[in-house]
Structure 1
Amino acid sequence: MSNIRLLRKPPRIKVLEAIGSIGDQRVKVLDDHRAEVVSSRGDKVYKVIVEPVEHNVYHAYSSDNGTIFRGYIGYPIIAFLIIKGIIPIDKEVMKAVTGVPWKDLNERYKRYSIVENIVLNKAERMGVSREIIMDYINIVMKKLGLLKIYFVEELKNKF
């Protein structure tokens, strides 16, 4: 029997990590269903597969911890969905969250709310308001809530 489970919506900050990884050019699309996403430190490469099953239903695999161990839609999956046009992109927000050392900040502060505030302050210094970023996060979270994304462990064998 296959290991399949419905992934939950991620912590809100993962939306910013996802769009930041695109801005940092860390997402390499391999084909229509597969991509590789390099971690913010550059020391890991996450394998991502997203396959449509029916309208708004996907089977997916990603080798990041959030997806595998915490059961939510990890930022590598979100990044690939943005690149594929399934989730909208906001280039202004992307530019504002490019170059953020996500892993270092997450390890240092151990709370997403603190890291989010640091990132929002950086964006504001670049001229992008918190409201614009929060609106974008809300749009993405709403869209993710309309999708059913199932983690299918066996998809990793397609790499």
Structure 2
Amino acid sequence: MKQPPIAKLYEAYSAIADHRVQQPDVNRWQITSSDNAQYYTVISSDDAQTFSSNDNATYWQGYPGYPILAVWLTLGVLPINQKILPTFEKINWHARNEAVHNHYEQAINQFLSEQTGDMAKIIQQSLDDQMSQLATLNFTIKRNRSPKK
């Protein structure tokens, strides 16, 4: 499995914090974008070893984009750090990323600068640890052609 950039985990945390992950049936989730302009569809295989999504990162880059990461957080594949979760509420990553011309590191640094020094360190350490956990996962990632709405 191709490793996503850490920015996708930040976006996934915001999706969880804002309750933008819905599960209409057992193998399907809908994740609303941070600007509420569209939603993405994540589908898992019956054995939950294959996940597909129609977000741009998954579709074009082949790594799990933030919708799949948000589903994995929801399912407990990656544990949610409840202590940091409230800091991710109401963060419009789409607007932030667009403002820095998709230089994700700059958007993350802006977000971290808005936190207390201790909280910024806790967030960074927690998500770094989760990226290490992510590197050990063995899922198949595919794109799906579900329409974005």
TM-score higher than 0.5 here? yes
**Is residue 39 of structure 2 the alignment partner of residue 48 of structure 1?**
no
Contact 1:19–1:94 (CA under 8 A) maintained in structure 2: yes
- Taking the aligned partners of 2:145 and 2:138, their CA distance within structure 1 comes to 16
Structure 2: gaps of 5 or more residues: none
Contact 2:30–2:41 (CA under 8 A) maintained in structure 1: yes
**Is residue 95 of structure 2 the alignment partner of residue 101 of structure 1?**
no
Give the RMSD, CA atoms, in angstroms: 2.1
Contact 2:54–2:143 (CA under 8 A) maintained in structure 1: no
Match of 2:140 among 142, 145, 150: 150
State the AA in 2 paired with 1:123.
Q
Moved segments of 4+, more than 6 Å: none
The residue aligned with 2:115 is: 123
* Cα offsets for 1:11-69 (capped at 9, x unmatched): 1111111011111111101233211000011111100013364xxx8211111000001
* Cα offsets for 1:72-98 (capped at 9, x unmatched): 110000000111111100122211111
TM-score by length of 1: 0.83
User: Which structure shows the bigger proportion of residues in strand conformation?
Assistant: 1
Contact 1:50–1:77 (CA under 8 A) maintained in structure 2: no
**Is residue 75 of structure 2 the alignment partner of residue 81 of structure 1?**
no
State the AA in 2 paired with 1:117.
N
